[in-house]
Structure 1
Amino acid sequence: MTRIPCVLMRGGTSRGPFFLSSDLPRDTSARDAVLIAAMGSGHPLQIDGIGGGNPLTSKVAIVGPSQQSGTDIDYLFAQVNVEKALVDTAPNCGNMLAAVGPFAIEQGLIAASDPETRMTILNLNTGKRIEATVQTPGGLVSYEGETAIAGVPGTAAPVRLAFLDAAGSKTGRLLPTGALRDAVQGIPVTHFDMAVAAVLAAAGSLGKTGRESPAELDADRDFMARLEALRLESGQLMGLGSVAEMVIPKPILLARPTAGATISARYFMPHACHTAVAITGAVCIAAACCTEGTVAHDLASLPEADAQGRRLLVIEHPSGRTPVEIEQDPGTGEIRRVSVIRTARRLFDGFVHIRDKVA
């Protein structure tokens, strides 16, 4: 057996092993084979690995010192399929991103400051930069705090993530088709690429209320098949080619919110409904709400922006609410920065054991 050092961490509402890039094979195929074996993919319970048998717990972060000037840390996210031997590195994961800063500090990749440490992370999946602020009183990472996030029990120290240049994460354009809305299979949609490439639709246009539980949506096989057909066609329209083996674009159903929120969302991963909302998805939804002419804007209850063009949006989802701060240029409407608060925790560290024939 080959032993590979790793740290299991919770980032936001996701969980998975964190590896130093130097501890994994450089060859992409060899690296993916190691990740598949480590997670135990190819079995619904991932019984022969450390995956959790769910897309939210079958994620991997690969971290190393940045090779690009102006950034501190390189971060590659890998979504490892639960039941198939597949690894997808097309999208970023904003929840796992929350644990990248603490991991980098504790692994000695970056020096900590007192009382907090700010760093710039380059997401290698999208080529986009994120500024992370980690609580480090006395120069040590603190996981204890009073911040609560929907979908995670208890409270913890806040990790602030500011997406600096998130537009066009995979397609190179905020509006991949050049239009604020398109019709796909007779359904009005907005193709939008901010932190993640997504196809946004009103829940009512697919016969849903937008208030259904994830289990109810997943159990409606006719609906899920229709949603996948829409996603495949949208992938072509967005210039992504065949997306049958990719997890983007993400389908997102939207509905009018209840009091105190901006919009209600059901986010798909893409073949199951998220029990909360991905952070990249929340960034995408919030930005679309602030873009006049989109499906999201039509359904949103937008708060007024302040003099600097900042406003706090609140996204409803199955586990509660996620706040997102948007900063837009007051004159042009260009989105300058999108910020969210997450939490993270180190769960255990040690070695994952891989059969020699794999490694």
Structure 2
Amino acid sequence: MTQTAIPFWFFRGGTSRGPYFKRSDLPQDRDTLAKVLIAALGSGHPLNIDGIGGGAAVTTKVAILSRSDDPAADVDYFFAQVSVEDRTVDFKPTCGNILSGVGPAALEMGLVQPTGDVTRVRVLSVNTGARVEAVIETPGGGVRYDGAAAIDGVPGTAAPIYLNFMDVVGSSTGALLPTGSVRDVIDGIEVTCMDVAMPMVIARAADFGLTGYEAAGDLDANRDFYARMEPIRVEAGKRMGMGDVSGSVTPKFGLLSEPRAGGTITARYFMPKNCHPTMAVTGSQCLASCVLTPGTVAEGLFSAPKGNPALVVIEHPSGSIDVTVDYTNDADGFQLRSAGLLRTARLLARGEVFVPASVWKIG
């Protein structure tokens, strides 16, 4: 047998897609696991021609699921970001778009049983410790994929999936503001370093000579911007207590500007070597928190959303994303109780993906 077959479910989750695996179907040691994922996705070629990756960071993502031993969770969700060309895997971050497919995948895999017309799946993000409740439509005991919900960046409509995020403040660094300041100056640029669902370094687009309304492809072609941004991101990672982040996809980088389509604020999100074509679910929570926290680089770019929970509408290259934030902002500072988002997901394929036996051989 020259190849090893591994069962998988292939999902679009939000505005990302990739294979979803059962943890028990994969090697347990991290080094071998990374080699298997690199082979399965075809990392090492811009088109991922020898694997099932899609040639972009949003299509080389992996979800690994298992029943949770935590009494407060149903499913453990372990995320892996496989690089397109570098033949590397980053297990540090999580992905909220891929998380959109975790509930349906857990039901399809039999890890969770439907509980009626609506099933609530409690998810523990292994990478960050965040807890998320996913609300999925399951009429007749099966996952419903068709529906009227639309999200920018995905054509058509699908059944809604509601995600309620909890315990996401300081998920990677242990603090809302890991540097201890609402603003830092690095290489002459003011930034806010914040950790809500995803650690981020956030700046104003104008400080880089940008409008903030550029298309993702135009930003990716602007290598002078990346050459200036990356040293700032790396230095910010050190100040955030994350060590040398030059080889990691975290912290992410974000640019803010005034809204121009009726939203709360405009943002561009970097992964970090490319601009996200839409907006990351985790990043949207961090950016929304940046908007709601006094004194950050977002100050002066928006009109404060009214009410609590507050609806923060983030304009991105393909439209906008809504984040509903339940929070307090008092003498103790900004405190996030939960953040809710609407997403969709669809099962695209299922079967077996093959990797060379030289990479991993069973038995």
Q: Secondary structure at the match of 1:246?
A: coil
Trace 1:124-135 onto structure 2 (pairs within 5 A). 124-135=126-137
- The answer to whether the Cα contact below 8 Å between 2:11 and 2:17 also exists between their aligned partners in 1 is yes
More divergent stretch after superposition (249-258 vs 107-116): 107-116
Contact 1:113 1:138 (C-alpha < 8 Å) held by counterparts:
no
The equivalent of 2:328 in structure 1 is: 329
Unaligned runs of 5+ in 1: none
Query: Can you list the C-alpha shifts for 1:206-234, whole angstroms capped at 9, x where unaligned?
Result: 11010111111111111111111111111
Equivalent position of 1:98 in the other structure: 100
Aligned twin of 1:299: 301
Say whether the 8 Å CA contact 1:5–1:350 is kept in structure 2.
yes
The equivalent of 2:314 in structure 1 is: 315
Q: Secondary structure at the match of 1:17?
A: strand
8 Å contact from structure 2 (residues 165, 338) kept in 1: yes
Q: CA deviation at 1:113?
A: 1.6
Q: What's the offset of the Cα at 1:297?
A: 3.5
Residues 117-155 of structure 1 show CA distances to partners (whole Å, capped at 9, x for unaligned) of 112100011011111111111221100110000000000
1:147–1:158: 8 Å Cα contact kept in structure 2? yes
- Offset of 1:298 from its aligned partner? 3.2
Amino acid at match of 1:232: V
Tell me how far 1:301 sits from its aligned partner: 2.2
Q: TM-score, normalised by structure 2?
A: 0.96
- Write the distance in 2 (CA, Å) between the matches of 1:210 and 1:259: 13
Residues 1:152 and 2:154 aligned together: yes
Residue of structure 2 in register with 1:203 after alignment: 205
Report the alpha carbon displacement of residue 302 of structure 1 after superposing the two structures with TM.
2.1
Q: Give the Cα separation in 1 of the matches to 2:344 and 2:261.
A: 26
- TM-superposed deviation, 1:30: 0.5
Equivalent position of 1:249 in the other structure: 251
Cα deviation 1:255-281 (Å, max 9, x = unaligned): 010242000000001000011010001
What secondary structure is seen at the aligned counterpart in 2 of 1:295? coil
**Deviation for aligned residue 1:295:** 0.9
Q: Matched residues, percent identical?
A: 51
Partner of 1:354: 355
Consecutive unaligned residues in structure 2, runs of 5 or more = none
- Superposition map of 1:219-230 within 5 A: 219-230=221-232
Corresponding residue of 2:276: 274
CA contact (8 A) 2:261 2:315 kept: no
TM-score normalised according to structure 1 size: 0.97
The residue that corresponds to 1:45 in the other structure is 47
The answer to whether the 8 A contact 1:256-1:301 is kept is no
SS in 2 for 1:357: coil
Given candidates 146, 164, 167, the residue that maps to 1:165 is 167
Question: Which residue in 1 is equivalent to 2:237?
Answer: 235
Counterpart CA distance in 2 for 1:298 and 1:7 is 45
